[in-house]
Structure 1
Amino acid sequence: MNVLSLFDGISCGHIALEKLGIKVDKYFASEIDKNAIKVTQHNFPETIQLGDVTGVRATDLPKIDLLIGGSPCQGFSLSGKQLNFDDPRSKLFFEFVRLLKETKPKHFLLENVKMKKEYQDIITEFLGVEPVFINSKDLSAQSRGRWYWTNIPFEREYKKKKEVYLKDVLEPYYDSGTISDDEIQNQLTNLLSTSKYRDTFKWKRDTQNRVLVTRPDGLKIQRIGRIGEGVHKSEIITVLTQPFVFDGKEIRKVNPLEAERLQTVPDGYTAVNGTTDNMRYKMLGNGWTVDVIAHIFGGLA
């Protein structure tokens, strides 16, 4: 199978194919992030890097069997400024459409975030298939809903796997990178009042991103949108880019290894020489949840 992956990131699609034992003859990747390319080439040195997607031409490639991609989503997201198809980042979607027409693959997959219905309908019209919404919480320890447009005949109605909780991916001990009391105070200002009310958190109007909530049998990540002021009972929260956890003694960031597990990426996959923790967080955040992609690719096996 020859694969063309646009906006490839750290090649989560390749990981999913490998996990299923699907033979890949040639894997072509279009990516411009040098750190992501470094991670990909470290793990899959046979990957053929093509550079900027606007320069990719089907005439330079062999027959492509599978075209995949998750075009930059800033122009589609329900969060933030409600950008639209006039945004340069959104226009990269049409590069996917162009290469779909040029390469005429047997199968394709496009992933994207929640968006306005009008944008979703435009994508559906161009790709000719109805999307399916999958939340990764059915297959992993995090809640991350995404839309998938594909002609792969995978099982769209499926029984949820046994729920995986955050406690299942956390390291037993984490003895470095602890956040100081001062930083905790700065980050949680106006969210946590006195110790008397430490189990009660007050949301600020600009609170967004992720929340960690407790359950009797463990912790589970939930992703939320922008919310108003109010009081919500929970032991653990985060308003930062990386999730935070409470391990019984202190609030700390999820470390990169744990972030890999949340994305069902192999342990240490992004631990490439020269990549910082922040780089790893960013690459993993931009990547796919591998087990979700593997579920879809199951229709190819």
Structure 2
Amino acid sequence: MGRFNCRWSRWKCCRSRREIAQIALYTTMDSNGLTVLSLFDGMSCGAIALREAGIKVKQYFASEIDKAAIIQATHNFPDTIQLGSVVNLSAANLPKIDLLIGGSPCQGFSFAGKQMNFKDPRSVLFFEYVRILNEIRAYNPDVKFLLENVRMRAEYENVISSHLGLQPVAINSSLVSAQNRLRLYWTNILTAATPHLFGETVFTAIPQPKDKGIYLRDVLDDVADTRYFLSRKDIEKLEKQIAYESENQKSLSEEQFMELFRDIDFCETYALAPVSCFCPENWISNHIIRPSPEIERFPVSAIQNGRAIRDCSSKTDSTVIISGAIVSPQFGGGFRPILSGKAPCLLATSSNSAACLIINGDDMVLRRLTPKECCRLQTIPDWYEWVCSEPQIYKMLGNGWTVDVISHILQFL
């Protein structure tokens, strides 16, 4: 452990060309491989994807400021050269970079967030990505790049596309995993162009990955520790939050509505009890998508740990697993089932972002997904080891990439 701490202390201050060159001498992995620079590296999903895709790497440089993420990544990839903050990084101090990857912080762009967009200090880090890409292009115009971000308003997507010189491809992680996670990917690894009156439009031509047909039931453990089940105390706490929020209910914009409910098939859920609809009527009236009248949503107050839903009239002879999420009180609270059988998008802000309702006869329990199950949603391989706390695991997975999507893209190198 002492040697590891020494390595962290040495790498975190690595700035000059000479310092980087000295360390690089001892971290060459494959002399015939790529030299990779990963910005906003996090838990190093990029390095995982490269390994899973069978792509040889000569050197892997990472820019990250979250110490827990750095320790986590370095534990699994000890040869990674950590460079610290992207703001202080100069590509001129690095050897020739063959591949630049990164997912700039997306909280400012998300429809579900405050939508500060480029005014959000986290989202403006995108321009640091552009700066470094241009610095690399100055000495290697053939550098390949990959940028990932959330779905956003067209005007902001166009700003990113204009700086990168091409349009993105949208890929939903549900094709390769049990998670609904729609993301935009800008890359010049494989491109095509469409001519028009004023020239041509270049776009990312990565094809969609093949649908593996994976559902939540395929990634759940047969047995989960009791600490992952919603306790009565947790339910009572949520009930109080819901009661408070109901007096100060906020309306949703069209963009927020589509972001929140994008993974529901026509807003349908599972009808088990005659309870209230999942949204106040005024949230629905001005939108085309409407809930099926006979299909309703469970309020959290109707679900008890180890007990049946109150007044439930449905019976089943076998175990039924319903995927869904424990919804934020800001959006009405409750458990939102998803009929598609896919888990909702993992979030960095809450370990309850993905949950499941397990029904066995009259017994019904609601629990959040375990870290191991969330790893499977992000297609993190079993060989990846965790050395941080559970809250950090949930956070890193929520901030991370779906590895199999990235591997799919990198296979076209």
TM (norm. structure 1) is: 0.85
Q: Map Cα deviations across residues 34-74 of structure 1 (whole Å, 9 max, x no partner).
A: 11111111100000000000111112100000000100111
Among 225, 246, 252, which residue is 2:367 paired with? 252
Q: Map Cα deviations across residues 167-194 of structure 1 (whole Å, 9 max, x no partner).
A: 1111110133133222134336762446
Q: Which amino acid aligns with 2:157?
A: Q
Among 148, 154, 162, which residue is 1:111 paired with? 148
Separation (CA, whole Å) in 2 of partners of 1:208 and 1:176: 22
Among 207, 210, 214, which residue is 1:164 paired with? 214
Q: 3-state DSSP class of the match of 1:172?
A: coil
Q: Which amino acid aligns with 1:156?
A: I
Q: Which residue pairs with 1:263 in the alignment?
A: 378
Q: Which residue pairs with 1:231 in the alignment?
A: none
Separation (CA, whole Å) in 1 of partners of 2:147 and 2:313: 43
Aligned ranges for residues 188-203 of structure 1 at < 5 Å? 191-192=299-300, 193=302, 195-197=310-312
Query: Percent identical across equivalent pairs?
Result: 49
Residues 40/92 of structure 1: CA separation in 2 closer, same or farther (3 Å cut): same
Q: Does 1:130 align with 2:167?
A: yes
Q: Which amino acid aligns with 2:403?
A: V
Q: Which amino acid aligns with 2:189?
A: I
Q: Which residue pairs with 2:82 in the alignment?
A: 49
The Cα shift of 1:240 comes to 6.5
Among 226, 233, 243, which residue is 1:182 paired with? 233
Q: Which amino acid aligns with 2:223?
A: Y
The Cα shift of 1:139 comes to 1.0
Q: Which residue pairs with 1:243 in the alignment?
A: 354
Identify which range, 203-212 or 116-125, moves more after superposition. Answer: 203-212
Could you tell me whether the CA contact under 8 Å between 1:111 and 1:148 is conserved in 2? Answer: yes
Show structure 2 runs of 5+ residues with no match. Answer: 1-33, 192-204, 243-298, 303-308, 315-323
Identify which range, 71-80 or 281-290, moves more after superposition. Answer: 71-80
Q: 3-state DSSP class of the match of 1:146?
A: strand
Q: 3-state DSSP class of the match of 1:247?
A: strand
Could you tell me whether the CA contact under 8 Å between 1:209 and 1:240 is conserved in 2? Answer: no
Among 273, 276, 293, which residue is 2:389 paired with? 276
Could you tell me whether the CA contact under 8 Å between 1:260 and 1:268 is conserved in 2? Answer: no
Residues 187/266 of structure 1: CA separation in 2 closer, same or farther (3 Å cut): farther
Structure of greater relative contact order (alpha carbons < 8 Å, 6+ residues apart): 1
Could you tell me whether the CA contact under 8 Å between 1:12 and 1:288 is conserved in 2? Answer: yes
Aligned ranges for residues 1-301 of structure 1 at < 5 Å? 1-104=34-137, 106-153=143-190, 156-158=206-208, 160-177=210-227, 178-187=229-238, 191-192=299-300, 193=302, 195-197=310-312, 206-207=331-332, 211-214=336-339, 219-223=341-345, 241-248=352-359, 249-267=364-382, 269=384, 271-272=386-387, 275-300=388-413
The Cα shift of 1:212 comes to 4.1
Instruction: Pick the structure with greater CA Rg.
Output: 2
The Cα shift of 1:157 comes to 3.2
Separation (CA, whole Å) in 2 of partners of 1:175 and 1:4: 39
The Cα shift of 1:160 comes to 3.1
The Cα shift of 1:29 comes to 0.3
Q: 3-state DSSP class of the match of 1:220?
A: coil
Q: Map Cα deviations across residues 204-253 of structure 1 (whole Å, 9 max, x no partner).
A: 661489944246xxx321449xxxxxxxxxxxxxx974311123342111
Separation (CA, whole Å) in 1 of partners of 2:239 and 2:220: 22
Separation (CA, whole Å) in 1 of partners of 2:330 and 2:43: 34
TM (norm. structure 2) is: 0.63
Q: 3-state DSSP class of the match of 1:59?
A: helix
Show structure 1 runs of 5+ residues with no match. Answer: 225-238
Residues 56/110 of structure 1: CA separation in 2 closer, same or farther (3 Å cut): same
Separation (CA, whole Å) in 2 of partners of 1:151 and 1:209: 42
CA RMSD of aligned residues (A): 2.7
